[in-house]
């Protein structure tokens, strides 16, 4: 049986430092606010991306997405 006072240690996604997964660690799963901001910056700069597969259907309907410069949206 696990001791309820023992916090589980997880690796920080940014620097891999072992950090406690507990209510006291407000930056979890990160070890610090700095690592949290580094990760946020990577998402904002689009360094992370979810892989996407293209299909024939995407090619067919992509023509519908062309913006007509003469059309007003207001």
Return binding residues for Zn(2+).
12, 15, 31, 35
**Could you tell me which residues are annotated as the binding site?**
12, 15, 31, 35
Burial class (CB in 10 A: 0-12, 13-18, 19+), 69: exposed
């Amino acid at each position: 049986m696990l001791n309820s006072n023992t916090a589980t240690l997880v690796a920080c996604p940014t620097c891999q430092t072992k950090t406690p997964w507990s209510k006291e660690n407000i930056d979890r799963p990160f070890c610090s606010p700095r690592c949290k901001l580094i990760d946020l910056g990577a998402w904002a700069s689009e360094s992370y991306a979810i892989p996407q597969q293209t299909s024939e259907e995407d090619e067919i309907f992509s023509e519908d997405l062309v913006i007509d410069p003469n059309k007003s949206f207001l």
